[in-house]
Structures are given as C-alpha cells and as structure tokens.
Structure 1
Amino acid sequence: MYAELHCHSNYSFQEGASSVEDLLVRARDLGLRALALTDHDNLCGAMHFAQVAKTLDMQSITGVEMTIKGGKEGEGGSHLTFLAENQEGYSQLSNIISYSYVASDRRNPALDLKYLPDSLDGLILLTGCRTGRVPSLLTEGRFAEAETQLKQYLDWFGTDNVFVELQQNLVQGDTSRNRRLIDLAKKLDVSTVATNNVHYHVP
C-alpha cells in the first residue's frame, strides 16, 4: 500500500500551494491511508495536520524537508527529508530545526550535518529530492562521493532507518538519476521508497 512521504502544505512558505485540509482530503479520495507532512525547515503545520488527519481517519506522519549547508566552499544548500517515527523522533526534529535557525540566518535556516545529535533514535532519513546531496552527486557523475555520502547517512542513522528516495516528476534527468539511485541502493543494500515531492493537491 502506498503512502505519500514527501508532501508540502502552505506552511512551506512561498512554495506549498494547498492547505493541510485539501491535501488530506485529496489523499483520502485517492485511497491513501497515511500521509506525511514534510514542510520546508519547519513543523508549523504539524499539530493542525495531525488534528485534521484524525477527523478523516487518516494516519498522519510528521516530517520535515531540511535545508542542509553545502559540504564544500561555494556549494549551495541541499535537501534531506526527515520523518519522525515516534515521540522521541518528534523531539529530535524539533531540536534539529531549532538549531538550524539559531546557527544561521533565521530567514534562511540551514543545518550543518556535523552538528547532528549523537543519538538519532526515532528518526527516519530519506535521501531527498533531486537537490539532495546523494541525487545531486549522482547527476554530476560523482559516483564515489555519492557512495561515501550515503555510507555516512547509514552510519549516522542506522541501516534500517535510511531510504533512497526516488521521484519521477517529469523533470529532465529524473529517469537516469533514478537508475543511478537504484544501482547505488542495491550496491549498499539500502531500501528505496517512491515519493512525489507534492506541492499542491490538484494541478
């Protein structure tokens, strides 16, 4: 059974076009039983999302798409998708987001991964959209660096808590990028998950 694990509401300011109500109703009408809310760099809609989901008999999954500071001088920020598995994971997300605002320009928060907590229990990591570090490296043909980065994620989060994210949004390069992601996932024995990087409930 499919559950959408990468979805933005209008709490992703200037990016998400739809309210949590519209997203949840649309998901239910499509036959989904669960939906993750992964707004950019915030949990502002998480409580409202959970409350509305309950009234619709939908399972709500709390998450966030974090902006990550570039790994090298001159490299822009990339994205990673975090999902909270339980209350501990929600607390971890709250702390990580708070730190990203404190440690950078609060108007443009970004997380430096070297400051991740020692314990990441309760969190699930998806490798992100095409601007994620691993997908970007593969697109650029930097295969060894992509493998090293994915191994680092596995070391931090554990092999059961990291998933290679696959998206087919009819963007040029999606098909070849997905093939490379699948090949890397197979090589390191990492599970894959399909997401849509949703930004609206209807076109």
Structure 2
Amino acid sequence: MPENDHAHPPRQLTGDDFRPNPPTAFVELGVTSCFSFLHGASDAVDLSRTASQLGYHALGIADLNTMAGIVRLHAAARKACLEPIIGCRLKLITGEEFLAYPKDRAAYGRLCSLLSKGKMRGVEGEWQTKGVCDLTLDDLSIHTDGVQLIALPQEDVAEFARGLRRLTRALPTLHHIAVSYLYRGDDRARINSLDRLAQSHGLRILATNDVHYHVPERRPLQDVLTCILHKTTIAKAGFWVEANAERYLKSPAQMIDLFKDWPHAIHATR
C-alpha cells in the first residue's frame, strides 16, 4: 500500500487563458469559502475561476473566524489574474457579525492575534475544537486599528438597530452596514430600512450577495453542510436552510442591476 494514500493534494487552478479584467464598479467582499467550517460550499479554485469568467478584477475572501483559506485563495486569484482582497468574517459570542479587512500588514497582524485569542480561550489557554472561536466586543475593539469593519445585520433589523449605537461607539473603524438582495420578498423594505439606519448613525450601506458558493448548482451541498452543522436532516431542516439558491457569486452587472436604486451601496465596495 503506498504511503499517504489517504492524502489528497489541494486543487490547483490550471490553464493559461486567464487575462486581467478591467476594474469593475462592484467588488464582492462577502465571500465565504469551504474554509468556513460547514458553511461555505466552494473552494478557492472554483471561486477564482468563476470570478474571472464573470469579469471581476478583484475578489474579497472572508471566512468565518479564520484566515486559513487565504493562501489557496491568494494563489488561485493570482493565477486567474485577480486582485485578492484578504479579510475574514468575525462572529462574536453575543451574535454580532462583521466582515473585517485589514488595510496594512500591521492591521493584518492584529486581526490574526484577535483570532488566535478567540481560538485559545480554553480553560487553560489550550486550542479549542475546530470551528470554535470565542470573541467578545471588547476583544474586537482593541484589535481594530487599521481594520475596516462592515456590520452584517441579523434577520431582525429592529434588534440590530437597538445595538448599533453601542457598536459604533466601541468600533471606530466600523463605517458600513452590509445589505443583500436575496429574493426573500422583503428585500426592498429591508434595504431601505438599513439604509435609513446607516445614515442616522453616520454609516453607509455596502452591497454584497453574502456568497456561499460559486454557482447555484452548489446549493444542495451547502444545504447538506448546514444540516451537518445543526445535526439535523434535509427533511427536518426547516428555516436552517435557505429558501432559494441566490447566494452564489453574481456578476458585477447583476449586482449593479439589483442595487440600481441604491448606487451608493455599489460604490461603497470600491
């Protein structure tokens, strides 16, 4: 039996037909890859290839409480002639979520230190189990210098609104609220409500499709991952799974059309 026959080398983006795309008016910053444990359903190869085909010149990666996928994303993006924008998605123990993008090397180091702190919060400082990262608002507030934060509002906009003032006071680099148009029926009302809320707090809305897979056909896999995460079955998953397959990587043109009534949300991505 050959040694390490169980090991699978990481996929590599192949082909020499990639060319740089011209700068686009919209850049997707809310991409979750398979390195978000039991959340993302596509890897860096599929995401980078699709982004190039769709006409993107740059792509943000923001995995949940980890920077583990950035090496593969960086390699695949460069191969596809894309500018990789490196960040992560932070979820606090109190439920608040943010996209976090460091502006420079020092900020990148602070973000990595924050993640290490959350992952080593065991009884005796040992590393916690995979996927566990206990972060508080106080932890985040002392690691945000140079880190651009984008708040990801929860389903209940009223509840998010009640806590927003506390967030803006604690996080001086929080300047945007993410908004998505996912064909849930209340999208326009929700975006308008978040737009008014952002303006009242001196913030701006920022468009994202909250991407969890590169094409709609990958949605069934994402549903299976969600069921594993919540220890349930497809038949019993209910509202744990999405109502549709809209959380795929859409083209800049699609996103600009979806947000034609909120052009400032598109502009904020640049």
TM-score of the superposition, structure 1-length normalised?
A: 0.82
Which one-letter code corresponds to 2:192 in the other structure?
A: R
Measure the CA separation in 2 of the matches of 1:184 and 1:94: 31
Measure how far apart 1:28 and its partner are: 1.3
Q: Match of 1:65?
A: 89
Which one-letter code corresponds to 1:190 in the other structure?
A: L
Distance 1:11 1:80, change over 3 A: same
TM-score of the superposition, structure 2-length normalised?
A: 0.63
Is residue 242 of structure 2 the alignment partner of residue 197 of structure 1? no
Q: Match of 1:74?
A: none
Is residue 172 of structure 2 the alignment partner of residue 157 of structure 1? yes
Alpha carbons 1:41, 1:64 under 8 Å: kept: yes
1:132-147 map, 5 Å: 136=156, 138-140=157-159, 143=161, 145-147=162-164
RMSD of Structure 2 on Structure 1 (CA): 2.1
Measure how far apart 1:101 and its partner are: 0.9
Q: Match of 1:110?
A: 134
Alpha carbons 2:114, 2:143 under 8 Å: kept: no
Q: Match of 1:97?
A: 115
Q: Which runs of 5+ in 2 are unaligned?
A: 1-24, 123-127, 217-270
Distance 1:63 1:31, change over 3 A: same
Q: Secondary structure at the match of 2:113?
A: helix
Measure the CA separation in 2 of the matches of 1:8 and 1:106: 20
Q: Match of 2:200?
A: 187
Which of 34, 59, 76 is equivalent to 1:52?
Answer: 76
Measure the CA separation in 2 of the matches of 1:163 and 1:86: 19
Alpha carbons 2:180, 2:207 under 8 Å: kept: yes
Measure how far apart 1:65 and its partner are: 1.0
Q: Which runs of 5+ in 1 are unaligned?
A: 71-76
Measure the CA separation in 2 of the matches of 1:168 and 1:149: 26
